[in-house]
């Protein structure tokens, strides 16, 4: 084979390698590909790749020596036992004694015919390696790798070029040097692009987690929700992907789809940044700027004082007019009134806390209490409770009025609007759909769009279950105690029967014990009670 044909073959090989480098997305495989390709192009026995660290050192990334069967770093899982090479010595002077450091500091290729005969470089480490292995390091080709900003990001070093026919160790030719320099340039571009993509992805994920953390921090009553929902979402999605029978048997997710769902889960409540804290953090029914129950308790005290004044006034009038006073009867009636007022005061304080269900008779009692009459400063009768206070105190579930709940629910509309306004790459285009669907229902009675199960993707349905179960078992809601596992699964089972959640995903949630995995990580020990899966409503009805 002539030198010209060899050169053409090498150039074609360089072109193929360049295409392969640009398409490789795994960092470790990319580093390996650079070394292996350079060795093949130059018929070198060994190759090492270093990367420049932030503290100005050259870190060993890949080591390959074919004749010694050495393969370290990269995807091998074998750590390289050598410490990084310093670019600067302890006194701050540049490390020109080591050839790799010299190449990096001076942005130049170093081509050495025989390391043992070279002047100006410290090859003591190489000699020690040779002595311990019986190897003979001779020719070296050390090439810097520069990024798009002309910064050195790595060093590619090849050892012992071999004659293609005889295998004899020979110097690296000028043609080989130019090929490796070209390869190093292409490799640096591929490596830089990968680092930029990875950096942007890391920045994006850190940013969305920052937003989620800010939302959690905004409300002490939902703290951790935006962090826990993604964890549970991914647990259930992975379990569903493993299912090999029934309606979900064909469901699977690629690594990109997994990332897409995880990002959607982190962002599922981002619209809450617009929700007023006074509503999102409303701990009691009468809370606004402060809890108005304190004002009502003062009114009770005033009511008692006014009743006492009327009693004393009636007694005095009767005495002045010479009428006989039935003192025991008056005092008995007064005592009964005081007891009733105290019972009503305690009742309103309890009603103000909020609950999962306020009975109708308790709501009616609030309205009866509102009929008490107070006298104002002019002695004129005034309402004991305002219409707004009665409206709030008779809230059937939780602490929010219908109007306030509407404002809370609007966060999902804002979430969708915010997420749909972002310019997503193709592999993230479904983030708004996944994040915006966690309040929809299988029967189409959810919000904000009233989608049915057929109109929702499986990942969006996964998020619905994760969001509900996290809320049921969360211990930081102001109006309810955290549910135990058995209680939460019983409620979720009824939601399956009520066509609220996906029945097949619910069965996976139980069958694969996703609930237990999550519980062991995030629930309090006293919440993790014994679960009898046979008693969970609806479990198994949709299994095939």
Residue found under tokens 């009616």: 364
Return d(Cα 283, Cα 221) in angstroms, integer.
8
CATH topology for 219-271+418-535?
Hypothetical protein af1432 (1.10.3210)
User: 100-114, 246-260, 315-329, 385-399: which range is least confident on average?
Assistant: 315-329
pLDDT of 476? 58
Smallest Cα–Cα separation from 434: which of 407, 410, 472, 467?
467
Return d(Cα 27, Cα 50) in angstroms, integer.
14
Long-range contacts: 519-527, Cβ < 8 Å, 24+? Answer: 519/473, 519/485, 521/231, 522/228, 522/231, 522/473, 523/473, 523/482, 523/485, 524/475, 524/482, 526/484, 527/473, 527/475, 527/482, 527/483, 527/484, 527/485
3-197 domain in CATH 3.30.70.2190? no
Other CB atoms within a 10 A radius of the CB of residue 246 amount to 15
Smallest Cα–Cα separation from 279: which of 359, 206, 218?
218
Return d(Cα 114, Cα 310) in angstroms, integer.
115
DSSP assignment, residue 287? B
pLDDT of 144? 95
pLDDT at 543 over 50: no
pLDDT of 216? 74
pLDDT of 241? 95
- Torsion angle of the four alpha carbons 218, 223, 226, 229, in this order, in degrees rounded to the nearest 10: -160
pLDDT of 1? 55
pLDDT band at residue 544, thresholds of 50, 70 and 90? Answer: very low
Smallest Cα–Cα separation from 265: which of 241, 293, 230?
230
What's the Cα-to-Cα distance from 272 to each of 219, 268, 434, 533, rounded to whole Å?
10, 9, 17, 35
Instruction: Transcribe 184-224 into DSSP letters.
Output: HHHHHHHHHHHHHHHHHHHHHHHHHHHHHHHHHHH-TTSTT
Residues 258-279 have a mean pLDDT of 87
Return d(Cα 237, Cα 278) in angstroms, integer.
35
pLDDT at 90 over 60: yes
pLDDT at 122 over 60: yes
Higher pLDDT, 23 or 259: 259
Residue found under tokens 């929702």: 456
The 10s digit of each residue's pLDDT in 461-477 is 999 999 999 999 987 55
User: 2-6, 72-76, 472-476: which range is least confident on average?
Assistant: 2-6
pLDDT at 54 over 70: yes
The 10s digit of each residue's pLDDT in 410-451 is 888 888 898 899 888 888 999 999 999 999 999 999 989 999
The 10s digit of each residue's pLDDT in 330-361 is 788 889 999 999 999 999 999 998 887 899 99
Structure-block tokens of residue 450: 């009233």
Q: Where in 99-151 does DSSP place strands (E)?
A: 110-112, 140-146
DSSP assignment, residue 246? G
Higher pLDDT, 199 or 453: 453
| Phi-psi group of 380: left, alpha or beta (phi > 0 → left; psi -120 to 50 → alpha; rest → beta) | beta
**Would the pTM of this model clear 0.75, i.e. be above it?**
no
Q: Where are the domains of the chain?
A: 3-197, 219-271+418-535, 293-399
Residue found under tokens 């004991």: 384
Please give the mean pLDDT across all residues of the chain: 88
1, burial (CB in 10 Å: exposed 0-12, middle 13-18, buried 19+): exposed
Other CB atoms within a 10 A radius of the CB of residue 542 amount to 15
Return d(Cα 344, Cα 364) in angstroms, integer.
12
The 10s digit of each residue's pLDDT in 475-499 is 755 556 788 999 999 999 999 999 9
pLDDT of 120? 85
pLDDT band at residue 290, thresholds of 50, 70 and 90? Answer: confident
């Amino acid at each position: 084979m002539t030198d010209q044909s060899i050169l053409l073959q090498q150039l074609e090989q360089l072109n193929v390698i360049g295409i392969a480098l640009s398409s490789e997305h795994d960092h470790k495989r990319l580093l390996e590909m650079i070394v292996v390709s350079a060795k093949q192009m130059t018929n070198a026995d060994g190759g090492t790749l270093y990367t420049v660290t932030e503290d100005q050192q050259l870190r060993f990334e890949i080591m390959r020596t074919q004749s010694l069967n050495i393969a370290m770093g990269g995807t091998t899982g074998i750590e390289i036992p050598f410490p990084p090479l310093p670019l600067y010595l302890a006194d701050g002077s540049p490390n020109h004694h080591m050839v790799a450091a010299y190449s990096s500091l001076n942005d130049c290729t170093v081509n050495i015919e025989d390391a043992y005969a070279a002047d100006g470089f410290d090859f003591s480490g190489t000699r020690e390696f040779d002595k311990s292995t019986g190897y003979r390091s001779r020719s070296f080709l050390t090439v810097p790798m520069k990024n798009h900003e002309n910064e050195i990001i790595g060093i590619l070093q090849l050892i012992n070029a071999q004659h293609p026919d005889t295998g004899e160790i020979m110097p690296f030719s000028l043609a080989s040097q130019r090929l490796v320099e070209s390869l190093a340039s292409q490799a640096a571009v591929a490596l830089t692009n990968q680092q930029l993509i990875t950096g942007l992805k890391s920045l994006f994920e850190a940013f969305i987690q920052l937003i989620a953390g800010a939302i959690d921090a905004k409300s002490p009553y939902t703290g951790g929700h935006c962090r826990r929902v993604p964890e549970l979402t991914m647990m259930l999605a992975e379990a569903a992907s493993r299912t090999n029978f029934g309606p979900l048997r064909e469901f699977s997710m690629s690594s990109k789809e997994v990332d897409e769902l995880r990002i959607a889960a982190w962002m599922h409540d981002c619209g809450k940044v617009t929700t007023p804290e006074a509503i999102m953090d409303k701990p009691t029914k009468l809370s606004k700027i402060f809890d108005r129950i304190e004002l009502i308790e003062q009114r009770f005290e005033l009511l008692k004082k006014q009743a006492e004044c009327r009693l004393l006034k009636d007694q005095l009038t009767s005495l002045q007019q010479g009428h006989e006073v039935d003192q025991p009867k008056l005092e008995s009636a007064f005592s009964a009134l005081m007891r009733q007022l105290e019972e009503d005061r305690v009742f309103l304080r309890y009603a103000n806390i909020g609950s999962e269900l306020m009975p109708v008779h308790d709501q009616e009692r609030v309205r009866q209490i509102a009929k008490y009459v107070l006298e104002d400063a002019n002695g004129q009768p005034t309402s004991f409770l305002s219409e707004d206070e009665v409206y709030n105190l008779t809230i059937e579930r939780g602490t929010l009025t219908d109007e306030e709940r509407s404002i809370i629910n609007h966060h999902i509309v804002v979430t969708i609007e915010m997420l749909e306004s972002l310019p997503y790459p193709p592999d993230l285009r479904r983030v708004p759909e996944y994040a915006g669907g966690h309040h929809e229902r299988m029967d189409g009675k959810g919000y904000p769009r009233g989608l049915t199960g057929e109109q929702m993707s499986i990942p969006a349905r996964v998020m619905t279950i994760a969001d509900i179960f996290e809320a049921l078992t969360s211990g930081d809601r102001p109006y309810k105690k955290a549910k135990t596992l058995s209680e939460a699964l019983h409620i979720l089972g009824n939601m399956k029967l009520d066509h609220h959640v996906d029945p097949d995903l619910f069965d996976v949630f139980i069958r694969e014990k996703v609930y237990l995995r999550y519980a062991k990580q995030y629930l309090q020990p006293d919440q993790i009670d014994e679960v009898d899966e046979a008693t969970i409503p609806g479990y198994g009805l949709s299994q095939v």
